[in-house]
Each structure stands twice: as structure tokens, then as C-alpha cells.
């Protein structure tokens, strides 16, 4: 089994917001993470014994980095750091809309988030970036393996 690539920093932002938005649902042995639009969900499988995880989001499936659904799940399970203040500052963001608005330029999306979400909640941007880098390092150190994909990503909005 191969190891997941590290995600872009913006995926940590999405994961934080996902948790506070209560978009992770575990029932009947299935783990679903709903998109910010709530019109689709991603399926996660986590095998702690194998030290492996999989999520059928686009970044995981097509690019090979650990996507925000898996990151959010790992935060929820306390495998990597979570910060409730940062999460509340990132609540109710429609990520797909922002990514479309800024033509998937993550740098521009980050700048928008700083200006219109984090500052509004009096979040220190420098400390926030340090936290994001800490989480990225934790993901890297976990060296989680890739489980086989259960299904391709959903294509609804």
C-alpha cells in the first residue's frame, strides 16, 4: 500500500469547517462526510489496525493527497490536532462556490478566508497558519497508507 501525499493547506481549513458544520455522519458501519452544499457526500473507510484510510473526494481520488473528508474524520477521532475556535471561524463556508469564484486558485481562496472569515472572528492569521502547518506535519508523520477506493467521487454539486 502506498502512502498519501500531503494536502494543500486549504484542505485543513475545509476540514475544520466540516467538523463544526456537523457534516460527518457515522451510522451502520458507514462513514459519510457531506459536502458544504450538503448535496453530496464522500465515503470514508478507516482501518486503524492497517494504519490506512481512504476517501472518495476529488483530491484523494484524482490527485492522491489526503482530502479534507479524511482529515476532518482524523481530527474528530483525535488522531491529528483540532482547534474549535478556528473551526467556528470557518463555519458555513460554501467551499465549492469559493473555488469556482477564484478558479480553483487556493492562494486567492485563502486570502479571501483571511479577510472575510478569520479577521471577522478576531483570529490571529500568523497563529492560524502555524496551526495549519502543525496539522500538515502531523499528517506527514502519520504516514497513513491508502486503502482501495470504494467508489469514484460523486459528481453532484
pLDDT in tens, 21-76: 999 999 998 999 999 999 999 999 999 999 999 999 999 999 999 999 999 999 99
End-to-end CA distance of the chain: 31
Confidence class for position 129, pLDDT limits 50, 70, 90: very high
pLDDT at 155 over 90: no
Q: For residue 149, what are the CA distances in angstroms to 7, 43, 75, 124, 128?
A: 18, 9, 21, 38, 32
Q: Is the pLDDT of residue 157 over 80?
A: no
pLDDT recorded at residue 1? 78
Nearest to 53 by CA among 35, 63, 65: 65
Is residue 148 within 8 A of residue 5, CB to CB? The reply is: no
Does the pLDDT at position 150 exceed 90? no
Nearest to 143 by CA among 100, 88, 97, 80: 80
pLDDT at 156 over 90: no
Express each pLDDT in 70-116 by its tens digit. 999 999 999 999 999 999 999 999 999 999 999 999 999 999 999 99
Amino acid at each position: 500500500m502506498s502512502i498519501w501525499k500531503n494536502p494543500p493547506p486549504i484542505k485543513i481549513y475545509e476540514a475544520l469547517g466540516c467538523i463544526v458544520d456537523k457534516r460527518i455522519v457515522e451510522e451502520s458501519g458507514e462513514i459519510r462526510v457531506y459536502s458544504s452544499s450538503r448535496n453530496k457526500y464522500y465515503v470514508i473507510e478507516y482501518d486503524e489496525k492497517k494504519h490506512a484510510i481512504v476517501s472518495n473526494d476529488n483530491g484523494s481520488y484524482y490527485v492522491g493527497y489526503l482530502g479534507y473528508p479524511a482529515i476532518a474524520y482524523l481530527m474528530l477521532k483525535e488522531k491529528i490536532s483540532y482547534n474549535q475556535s478556528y473551526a467556528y471561524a470557518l463555519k458555513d463556508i460554501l467551499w465549492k462556490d469559493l473555488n469556482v469564484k477564484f478558479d480553483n486558485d487556493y492562494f486567492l481562496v485563502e486570502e479571501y478566508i483571511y479577510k472575510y472569515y478569520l479577521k471577522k472572528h478576531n483570529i490571529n492569521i500568523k497563529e492560524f497558519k502555524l496551526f495549519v502547518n502543525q496539522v500538515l506535519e502531523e499528517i506527514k508523520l502519520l504516514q497513513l497508507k491508502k486503502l482501495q477506493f470504494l467508489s469514484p467521487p460523486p459528481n453532484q454539486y
